Amino acid sequence: MKTTALVIIDVQKGLDSPALGNRNNPDAESNMASLLTAWRKNGSPVIHVKHNSTEPNSSLRPDLPGNQIKDVVKPLTTEKLFEKTVNSAFIGTDLEKYLRNIEIQNLVMVGLTTDHCVSTSVRMAANLGFKVWLVDDATATFERVSYNGNSFTAEQMHEINLASLNGEFCSVVSTPDAMALAN
Amino acid sequence: MKTTALVIIDVQKGLDSPALGNRNNPDAESNMASLLTAWRKNGSPVIHVKHNSTEPNSSLRPDLPGNQIKDVVKPLTTEKLFEKTVNSAFIGTDLEKYLRNIEIQNLVMVGLTTDHCVSTSVRMAANLGFKVWLVDDATATFERVSYNGNSFTAEQMHEINLASLNGEFCSVVSTPDAMALAN
């Protein structure tokens, strides 16, 4: 019996917008694709999550081309897709119910962005009782300016956010380590 | 009509354990106390949240003295207390239902720790539709070692985690700014 689902969060074309600034982990999508290939090959559950933004200026609005999932991790019609309007993949969706129904307790989570939708979904998955592995090099985020005006690189944002999650909400692993979980 | 609740998260004696390492914002508790005084004076809703850890080695287990809320922000018997076993104050509690019942849409959130229970509760509050202000100098966290062995100071953990939250899930404000919200 397959026990571990791959959850791919918000890997959408609109997140390539230059307006978002510099990003880390340029190979994140190809690592996600490697994991997706492994999960499909093993017949393990794959969950796609897509963000339908309600923000007026977001490139992820459902009426814009940026809403589309990137081709590199495009869902098959036979794979489950959950659409959401907030950061957490568990709010306003049937994701929790679906995972309970298929008796999945373990989640390997990847996607965009590390500190917004991925972190929020990982935290909530863990607090709902799922065991979570978060893949360091199959997630990525953007540079940000703090509330006090200090600037941080995308890599700083990524690493410190993962440091907050690791051990408390999930195990942070690499793509090669995560491949071994495609049971 | 009072529109804004003060939510004080996990300010418990066990979080003074030296085993947790160095902390930032030593004045966080006195800032929380100032906010608590202002909320009480205005008769605005105060919500206390306490963590009852189920981890074998946690100082926040309900059978240990470390579980107690610190005297500086000790709840009055007339104030609402929600007890939880995970990071989010909204999972396994009636907090959301209670806030809807008293028609509160706005939350000023403070407590410990910035990147674990506070961040998780802020994210979920925002995703559930509440408007959130997070008080920079009335929250604090600890130094942490990353999954890859890199060490970060408590101040680095605090500031970058707030940079991820600000503008996406909440407005990060100072204690003096938050005082003005005790309507």
Cα–Cα distance measured from residue A124 to residue B27, given in angstroms and rounded to the nearest whole number: 30
B128 vs A161: CB contact, 8 Å cut-off?
no
Which tokens hold the place of A176? 């090669």
Selected residue of B120, B131, B135, B152 to mutate for chain A interface (largest A Cβ count, 10 A) = B120
What is the arithmetic mean of pLDDT over B22-47? 98
Domains in chain B: ranges and CATH: 4-179 (3.40.50.850)
Nearest to B159 among A136, A150, A164 (CB): A150
A147 vs B162: CB contact, 8 Å cut-off?
yes
What is the arithmetic mean of pLDDT over A100-117? 98
What is the arithmetic mean of pLDDT over B117-122? 98
Q: Please state, in angstroms and as integers, the Cα–Cα distance from residue B151 to each residue in A60, A99, B104, following that order.
A: 35, 35, 40
Q: Residue A152, SS3? A: strand
What is the arithmetic mean of pLDDT over B28-44? 97
Residue A1 clears pLDDT 90, i.e. is over it: no
B80 in Cβ contact with B47 (< 8 Å): yes
Name the minimum distance, in Å, from the CA of B54 to any CA of chain A. Answer: 12
B127 vs A148: CB contact, 8 Å cut-off?
no
Write down the mean pLDDT value for chain A: 97
B120 vs A123: CB contact, 8 Å cut-off?
yes
What is the arithmetic mean of pLDDT over A24-35? 98
Nearest to A146 among B119, B123, B166 (CB): B166
Name the minimum distance, in Å, from the CA of A167 to any CA of chain B. Answer: 8
- As beta bridge partners, residue A108 has A6, A133
- For residue B166, give the chain A residue with the closest CA: A147
Cα–Cα distance measured from residue B142 to residue A58, given in angstroms and rounded to the nearest whole number: 34
- Nearest one of A25, A37, A32, A169 to A110, comparing CA atoms: A32
Residue with tokens 């017949």, as numbered in its chain: A43
A159 vs B146: CB contact, 8 Å cut-off?
yes
pLDDT value of residue B183: 80
Name the minimum distance, in Å, from the CA of A55 to any CA of chain B. Answer: 11
pLDDT value of residue B145: 94
Torsion (CA) B80, B84, B86, B91 in degrees, nearest 10 = -70
Residue with tokens 């890599």, as numbered in its chain: A155
Residue B47 clears pLDDT 90, i.e. is over it: yes
Query: What residues in B contact A57, CB-CB < 8 Å?
Result: none
B146 vs A163: CB contact, 8 Å cut-off?
yes
10 Å CB burial of residue B19 (0-12, 13-18, 19+) is exposed
Which 8-state DSSP code applies to residue A66? G
Selected residue of B57, B121, B124, B131 to mutate for chain A interface (largest A Cβ count, 10 A) = B124
Query: What residues in B contact A124, CB-CB < 8 Å?
Result: 88, 91, 120, 123-124
B172 vs A147: CB contact, 8 Å cut-off?
yes
Q: What is the pLDDT of residues A111-162, one digit of tens each?
A: 999 999 999 999 999 999 999 999 999 999 999 999 889 999 999 999 999 9
A108 in Cβ contact with A82 (< 8 Å): no
Confidence of residue B45 (pLDDT cuts 50, 70, 90): very high
Q: What percent of chain B has pLDDT over 70?
A: 100
Confidence of residue B2 (pLDDT cuts 50, 70, 90): confident
Name the minimum distance, in Å, from the CA of B53 to any CA of chain A. Answer: 12
Nearest to B127 among A88, A144, A146 (CB): A88
Higher pLDDT, A174 or B2: A174
Confidence of residue B108 (pLDDT cuts 50, 70, 90): very high
Name the minimum distance, in Å, from the CA of A172 to any CA of chain B. Answer: 7
pLDDT value of residue A141: 98
What is the arithmetic mean of pLDDT over B90-116? 98
Query: How, if at all, do strands A171-173 and A151-152 pair?
Result: unpaired
Confidence of residue A183 (pLDDT cuts 50, 70, 90): confident
Q: What is the DSSP string of A98-109?
A: HHHHTT--EEEE
Residue B1 clears pLDDT 90, i.e. is over it: no
Confidence of residue A2 (pLDDT cuts 50, 70, 90): confident
What is the arithmetic mean of pLDDT over A86-99? 98
pLDDT value of residue B167: 96
Confidence of residue A49 (pLDDT cuts 50, 70, 90): very high
Predicted TM-score (pTM) of the model is 0.98
Residue A178 clears pLDDT 90, i.e. is over it: yes
Query: How, if at all, do strands B151-152 and B144-145 pair?
Result: antiparallel
What is the arithmetic mean of pLDDT over B58-77? 97
Cα–Cα distance measured from residue A104 to residue A156, given in angstroms and rounded to the nearest whole number: 33
Answer left, alpha or beta for residue A89, where phi above 0 means left and psi between -120 and 50 means alpha.
Answer: alpha
Query: What residues in A contact B87, CB-CB < 8 Å?
Result: 123, 126-127, 168-169
Query: What residues in A contact B91, CB-CB < 8 Å?
Result: 124, 127-128
What is the arithmetic mean of pLDDT over A80-103? 98
Q: What percent of chain A has pLDDT over 90?
A: 96
What is the arithmetic mean of pLDDT over B87-116? 98
- For residue A120, give the chain B residue with the closest CA: B123
Continuous segment of H or E residues that includes residue B42: helix B28-42
